[in-house]
């Protein structure tokens, strides 16, 4: 009966998390950002040509798995805002389950697993990136499931746990560039596995080989791609690295300390200032969750040093050593893609690999609080349960309203997603497909894509830069419409000079979104 209650509660948490990720997806975020749309463009091209790639070089290069999943979503359900974001809605929901499984496996505690899952389900940080078509959101899912099967395998000693964990881990190379730090976590864990377990290599050398074999097997296509195209290994990260003299201005230590500090304070004090990533200037975690994170983080450091000291001085084996070493290594190493760069920090996207471990720290913090107040008598048991329910309701309500009511209705959030481009796309749906439509963009090469990916089959749409107006030759100027992403008086005057009968109109949409038409 107890297990049934736990499964029901877990199902409710996952269902609520799924709801928060899919509800009103057409309107929140307020628009489709061009960096999302370029993923959709590659997906459309892959479907049209059958050329599904392991790596797409456009837009500074991106691992291909996410684009290919969008392509399948488009193929089966058609191109829309929902299908563009469907893969991340699924990944974001799976992460909730994965964190539950991993936390439960590590600490043999249903409560820690459920708290971790709930905090992930309702977190603004997790909800936000589950609703944006960025490939980075796959990383937490891949990490939690690969690590879950790894630690499950250490317990069960079943070869298939290591095989599944290794295969999922290798898939990570197809997800997001920050994954490339993850193998360092496992290498750094080897000394702690040896210290925490008697005869570790003697008992697990075959399991290690199985994990490696399946990791390499699933990663092999990308290895071959990089071998054939070594230029794909290069990334924009080198130009914004704190090790670059142009970036650190000859002060690498000061630059590192500043970047590292900004990376740490974003959880509790001063968050990512990009409106696509966060609700500035607030931290990533709400006050209650943030407090629990600090408690869990400090508690983990304390237990790690205690068990490490006991192991070295008293030769006592303790699995807590590997657990807390794992959490701390995961946190700091997956934070490196953020603090080793100096652009836009704090940066919630580059540090998304820390998302699962952050919420496990939070759960440990809440668990420490509940253990302190829990007594044997019935009053304290009821008090603890009431407190847990109350805190959950407050955190869930706070983050849900923060995203869906307050952040999603902010004009500055709409601007950060170029909402007017999505409004143009929706406006085109109201026009006859036979009507000639000429979209005058800015000089940003990606800006047209939120329109293009949803209207790629409309042959009567043309896209032009302001310096290409002479190329426009409408068959029927009286039945044509010119749509301007921004008010360009010179371009408007040039078209009106050629077609004096066209009248300028301003189209206004919610959140101060607007564009201009000549018709």
- Domains delineated in the chain: 2-413 (no CATH), 418-518 (3.40.1010.20)
- State the Cα–Cα distance between residues 440 and 406, nearest whole angstrom: 32
172 versus 61: the higher-pLDDT residue is 172
Q: What integer pLDDT is reported at residue 243 of this predicted model?
A: 76
Q: What is the pLDDT of residues 3-18, one digit of tens each?
A: 899 999 999 999 999 9
Both tokens assigned to 230: 């070594």
Both tokens assigned to 350: 């580059």
Q: What is the pLDDT of residues 362-411, one digit of tens each?
A: 999 999 988 877 666 677 677 777 887 888 899 999 999 999 999 999 99
- State the Cα–Cα distance between residues 490 and 120, nearest whole angstrom: 50
Q: What integer pLDDT is reported at residue 48 of this predicted model?
A: 96
Q: What integer pLDDT is reported at residue 251 of this predicted model?
A: 80
User: Could you give the angle at the alpha carbon of 295 between the alpha carbons of 292 and 299, nearest 5°?
Assistant: 140
Q: What is the pLDDT of residues 22-39, one digit of tens each?
A: 999 999 999 999 999 999
Q: What is the pLDDT of residues 93-142, one digit of tens each?
A: 999 999 999 999 999 999 999 999 999 999 999 999 999 999 999 999 99
In 3-state terms, what secondary structure has residue 290?
Answer: helix
Q: Is the pLDDT of residue 45 over 70?
A: yes
Q: Is the pLDDT of residue 213 over 60?
A: yes
Q: What integer pLDDT is reported at residue 297 of this predicted model?
A: 98
Q: Is the pLDDT of residue 21 over 90?
A: yes
Q: What integer pLDDT is reported at residue 445 of this predicted model?
A: 82
Per-residue exposure over 206-215, b if at least 16 CB sit within 10 Å of its own CB, e if not: ebbebbeebb
Q: What is the pLDDT of residues 178-208, one digit of tens each?
A: 999 999 999 999 999 999 999 999 999 999 9
Residues 6+ apart with CB under 8 A from 182: 143, 169, 172, 333, 334, 353
DSSP string, 79-126: SSHHHHHHHHHHHHHHHHHHHHHHHHHHH--HHHHHHHHHHHHH-HHH
Percent helix / strand / coil, the chain, rounded to 5: 65, 5, 25
Question: What mean pLDDT value characterizes the chain?
Answer: 94
Q: What integer pLDDT is reported at residue 35 of this predicted model?
A: 95
Q: Which of 57, 409, 44 is nearest to 232 (CA)?
A: 57
Instruction: Tell me how many helices (H) and strands (E) the chain has.
Output: 21, 7
Sign of the Cα torsion 318, 324, 326, 329 reads: negative
Contact 423, 430 (CB under 8 A): no
- State the Cα–Cα distance between residues 143 and 123, nearest whole angstrom: 18
- State the Cα–Cα distance between residues 484 and 439, nearest whole angstrom: 6
Phi, psi of 461 (to 5 degrees): -110, 130
Contact 513, 469 (CB under 8 A): no
- State the Cα–Cα distance between residues 451 and 509, nearest whole angstrom: 16
Rg of the chain over all Cα atoms, to the nearest angstrom = 26
Q: What integer pLDDT is reported at residue 235 of this predicted model?
A: 60
Q: What integer pLDDT is reported at residue 163 of this predicted model?
A: 98
Question: Which letter does DSSP use for residue 402 in this model?
Answer: I
357 versus 240: the higher-pLDDT residue is 357
Q: What is the pLDDT of residues 413-467, one digit of tens each?
A: 999 999 999 999 999 999 999 999 999 998 888 899 999 999 999 999 999 999 9
Percent of the chain whose pLDDT exceeds 90: 86
Q: What integer pLDDT is reported at residue 413 of this predicted model?
A: 97
Lowest mean pLDDT among 59-63, 214-218, 222-226: 59-63
| 436-440 vs 461-464, strand pairing mode | parallel
Q: What integer pLDDT is reported at residue 519 of this predicted model?
A: 93
- State the Cα–Cα distance between residues 45 and 70, nearest whole angstrom: 11
Q: What integer pLDDT is reported at residue 422 of this predicted model?
A: 97
- State the Cα–Cα distance between residues 303 and 249, nearest whole angstrom: 39
2 confidence band (pLDDT: 50, 70, 90): confident
Question: Which letter does DSSP use for residue 340 in this model?
Answer: T
What is the pTM (predicted TM-score) of this model? 0.95
Q: What integer pLDDT is reported at residue 425 of this predicted model?
A: 96
343 confidence band (pLDDT: 50, 70, 90): confident
| 504-509 vs 480-484, strand pairing mode | unpaired
The whole-number average pLDDT for the span 234-243 is 65
């Amino acid at each position: 009966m107890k297990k049934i209650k736990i499964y029901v509660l877990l199902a409710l948490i996952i269902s609520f998390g799924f709801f928060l990720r899919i509800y009103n997806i057409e309107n929140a975020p307020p628009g489709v950002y061009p960096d999302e749309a370029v993923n959709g463009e590659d997906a459309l091209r892959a479907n049209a040509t059958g050329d599904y790639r392991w790596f797409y070089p456009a837009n500074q290069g991106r691992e291909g798995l996410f684009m290919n999943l969008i392509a399948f979503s488009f193929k089966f359900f058609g191109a829309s805002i929902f299908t563009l974001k469907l893969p991340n809605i699924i990944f974001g929901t799976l992460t909730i389950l994965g964190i539950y499984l991993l936390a439960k496996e590590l600490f043999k505690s249903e409560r820690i697993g459920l708290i971790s899952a709930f905090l992930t389900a309702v977190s603004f940080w997790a909800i936000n990136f589950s609703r944006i078509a960025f490939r980075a959101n796959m990383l937490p899912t891949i990490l939690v499931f690969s690590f879950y099967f790894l630690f499950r395998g250490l317990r069960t000693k079943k070869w298939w746990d290591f095989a599944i964990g290794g295969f999922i881990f290798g898939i990570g190379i197809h997800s997001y560039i920050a994954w490339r730090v993850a193998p360092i976590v496992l290498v750094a864990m080897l000394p702690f596995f040896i210290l925490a377990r008697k005869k570790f290599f003697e008992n697990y050398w075959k399991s290690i080989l199985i994990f490696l074999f399946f990791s390499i097997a699933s990663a092999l296509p990308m290895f071959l791609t990089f071998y054939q195209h070594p230029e794909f290994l290069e990334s924009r990260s080198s130009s914004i690295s704190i090790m670059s003299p142009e970036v650190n201005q000859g002060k690498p230590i000061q630059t590192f300390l500043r970047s590292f500090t900004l990376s740490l304070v974003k959880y509790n004090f001063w968050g990512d200032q990009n409106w696509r990533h966060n609700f500035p200037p607030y931290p990533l975690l709400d006050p209650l969750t943030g407090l629990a994170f600090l408690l869990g983080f400090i508690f983990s450091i304390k237990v790690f040093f205690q068990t490490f000291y006991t192991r070295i001085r008293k030769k006592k084996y303790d699995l807590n050593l590997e657990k807390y070493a794992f959490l701390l290594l995961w946190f700091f190493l997956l934070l490196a893609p953020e603090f080793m760069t100096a652009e836009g920090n704090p940066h919630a996207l580059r540090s998304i690999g820390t998302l699962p471990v952050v919420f496990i720290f939070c759960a440990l913090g809440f668990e420490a609080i509940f253990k302190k107040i829990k007594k044997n008598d019935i009053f304290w048991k009821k008090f603890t349960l009431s407190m847990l329910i109350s805190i959950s309701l407050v955190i869930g309500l706070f983050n849900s309203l923060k995203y869906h009511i307050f952040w999603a209705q902010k004009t500055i959030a709409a601007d950060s997603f170029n909402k007017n481009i999505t409004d143009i796309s929706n406006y085109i749906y109201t026009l006859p497909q036979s009507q000639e439509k000429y979209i005058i963009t800015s000089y940003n090469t990606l800006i047209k894509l939120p329109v293009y990916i949803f209207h790629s089959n409309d042959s009567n749409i043309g896209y032009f830069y302001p310096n290409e107006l002479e190329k426009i030759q409408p068959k029927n100027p009286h039945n044509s419409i010119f749509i301007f992403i921004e008010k360009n008086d010179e371009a408007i005057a040039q078209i009106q000079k050629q077609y004096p009968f066209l009248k300028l109109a301003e189209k206004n949409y919610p959140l101060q979104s607007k564009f201009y038409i000549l018709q």
